[in-house]
Amino acid sequence: MPKLLICVSRYGNLFVKNVQCLHHSQLISSGVRNLSVVHGDLSRLNERVRNYVEDKAKLCQPDNLHICDGSESENDYLLNLMLKQGMITPLKKYENCWLARTDPADVARVESLTFMSTPNKSDTVPTTKDGIKGTLGNWLSPDDMEIAFRERFPGCMKGRTMYVIPFSMGPIGSPLSKIGIQLTDSPYVVACMRIMTRVGSTVLKVLGNEEFVKCLHTVGQPLPTKTQPINNWPCNPQKTIIAHIPENNEICSFGSGYGGNSLLGKKCFALRIGSILAKREGWLAEHMLILGITNPKGVKKYVVAAFPSACGKTNLAMMNPTLPGYKVECVGDDICWMRFDESGQLRAINPEYGFFGVAPGTSMKTNPNAMLSIQKNTMFTNVAETSDGGFFWEGLEDEVPKDVKITSWLGMENWTPDVGKPSAHPNSRFCCPAKQCPIMDPAWEDPEGVPVSAIIFGGRRPKGVPLVYEAFNWRHGVFIGAAMRSEATAAAEHKGKVIMHDPFAMRPFFGYNFGHYLKHWLSFGNKQNLNLPRIFHVNWFRKDENNKFMWPGFGENSRVLDWICRRVDGEDIAQKTAIGYIPKEGSLNLSDLSTPVNTDALFQLPKDFWMQECKEIEKYFSEQVHKDLPEEISIELKSLEERVKQM
Ligand code: GTP
Ligand code: SPV
Ligand code: MN
């Protein structure tokens, strides 16, 4: 006989609960009708958090509430639940590894549906030239935000469990860290957030009754659904929206369960809201990896690098240097929060706790440290599966047993390359704990952050852009960041390989007007007593006339890092060109390079290309940034044009 309990809510409504069907039976008196707290204790949350949770629970009307503690047993429970729901399958070849396949309509960040909602449009995006559509972020007026919100969120979690995830971006308690509370109805998101951020009750203790970033996420498919979700992956692509309300420190994401759309600590918090906090508080929130490199003399330096999505941050952050005697250690592979300390030294932390890395292209040859990181406790999404219970994607052809059969990410059995479509989605990813990476830096969780010696920008530039060049000074370096361009990748919904502007690799992640962002970067150049890092630009992706990469890349990139570090030490190994300093003849260490390279071709600066590049940048700045472009950046562009003309 089920036990029935008759309860009275705060508003006097009577309701009946079947206690035995609950996991941890507990009824709350919050006025949220029929809501059962199945895990955790709502009454023990501090007032601000409790108010937020109750407020959103009333709105979204989930059946159950689960307050996450981040424990191992909680994780086991969630994995089991997803297994039962058919949302994940085990990859039996490894320990505690899982494969999720999404609805094929939900596979990447949706930049066109991602908005910042601020009172004034100019807070969010530069005012473009007349008649030009802005591409530096999407603005939503508070009224339209309200309409979009009302259309979607009421009742959106009916029949589901709302999970409450307290998480810290950055080491718990570090002065550089920030705390968020994510509410979500996706157990997959809980499992990934637990890998990507520091989740648990300690976070709530540290938070006390302070402000936090409010992160509301729903897959946008209340139960019962009319049809069975594809791949048991509920989502609502027709109504997807990812909205940020900086005034309230709030993020509201509806309809997508994947990646940056749903793991709200990552792009939404650490970059979009983060960049706003950074501007306000005088620091920088950037789409950058952080690595430490030690030379054969034992001298260590830390560098940070901004490359657009799927352009090699994870690879560089974890590289095995081919240069003998060098060691690279990883602090972070995607996001960097940095701040000048009292002595004027720039210090960086990785606000994340895991890697959400691009799977295709990752192999023992290209990134052994990533491969070693994903042998256990890893959630794979949209990769292919082998008949012996392993993972597969493009790039692993030589690393899986020859006799295994492959099932593609779309569930096609006996997949072969002849199918003509990739086995894994190009934006398929692994999600694993950072501490599993064999080369994590001893200081990767240092609450003070690591000292930064150099800032590197880069992108996929098949033509014209040399392997490495150095900015003349801070202001020129900021211009180089602003002028960054790169081939589109599968990390977002873009089609084809067009060269897109992607300033600072932040185009999809600016939380505020890019013109103001540039002013913020420039402001450090005018401050006294700052030990400004040198700024560089790299390009691993230049191609020859046969469409082949001219540079072997990966571990060989250590040669470029070595040159950069020697420049930081002030070595006389650079020669001036129109675009910046490039290595003097013979100064780049190319001894025992795996494949011969044509250095002349790698560093060639075709005048017509650079004339055209200047025109492109000019057009972009004048159309997209228009009157918000700082004078200093126009001056830098004019100077570049002048120098190129004289080439
Ligand atoms: P997000 O996680 O989307 O921000 O991307 P990321 O910048 O971390 O990209 P990642 O390191 O995962 O790189 C993705 C792709 O770049 C893979 O297909 C790699 O094989 C390729 N790649 C990385 N480094 C190199 C390199 O040095 N040379 C070449 N040719 N390809 C590279
Ligand atoms: C990126 O696209 O830059 C990523 C992956 O790092 S996502 O979390 O989906 O944004
Ligand atoms: Mn990224």
72-107 pLDDT per residue, tens: 999 999 999 999 999 999 999 999 999 999 999 999
* Average pLDDT of every residue of the chain: 94
- Percentage of the chain surpassing pLDDT 70? 95
Query: Residue 154 has which token pair?
Result: 């009421």
Task: Give mean pLDDT, residues 265-281.
Answer: 98
Give the count of beta carbons closer than 10 Å to the beta carbon of residue 41: 11
Nearest to 85 by CA among 155, 25, 159, 26: 159
Catalytic residue among 177, 253, 309, 486: 309
Q: Which residues contact 360 (CB under 8 A, 6 or more apart)?
A: 393, 394, 395, 422, 424, 426, 428
pLDDT for 31 equals 52
Nearest to 390 by CA among 423, 358, 368: 423
User: Any alpha helices (H) in 461-541, and if so which ranges?
Assistant: 474-482, 514-525
Could you tell me the pLDDT band of residue 24, with boundaries at 50, 70 and 90? very low
Could you tell me the pLDDT band of residue 7, with boundaries at 50, 70 and 90? very low
CB 610 within 8 A of CB 647: yes
- Does residue 27 register a pLDDT over 60? no
Could you tell me the pLDDT band of residue 353, with boundaries at 50, 70 and 90? very high
Pocket residues for ligand 2 (CB within 6 Å)? 109, 259-260, 266-267, 309, 334, 356, 491
Atom of ligand 1 nearest to the CA of 358: 12
- Does residue 125 register a pLDDT over 50? yes
Could you tell me the pLDDT band of residue 493, with boundaries at 50, 70 and 90? confident
Task: Give mean pLDDT, residues 251-273.
Answer: 98
pLDDT for 33 equals 60
pLDDT for 23 equals 36
Catalytic residue among 252, 311, 330, 614: 311
- Does residue 28 register a pLDDT over 60? no
- Does residue 8 register a pLDDT over 80? no
Residue located nearest, by CA, to atom 17 of ligand 1: 361
Indicate the helix (H) or strand (E) that contains 150.
Answer: helix 142-152
CB 399 within 8 A of CB 388: no
pLDDT for 173 equals 87
- Does residue 29 register a pLDDT over 70? no
Q: Clarify whether 517 is annotated catalytic.
A: no
- Does residue 593 register a pLDDT over 50? yes
- The dihedral of CA 164, 170, 172, 176: what is its sign? negative
Task: Give mean pLDDT, residues 133-162.
Answer: 98
Catalytic residue among 267, 347, 425, 520: 267
Q: Clarify whether 7 is annotated catalytic.
A: no
- Does residue 540 register a pLDDT over 70? yes
pLDDT for 156 equals 98
Pocket residues for ligand 1 (CB within 6 Å)? 307, 309-315, 333-334, 357-358, 360-361, 366, 491, 540-541, 549, 553-554, 557
Task: Give mean pLDDT, residues 623-633.
Answer: 98
Distance 13 CA to ligand 2 centre (A): 45
CB 190 within 8 A of CB 362: no
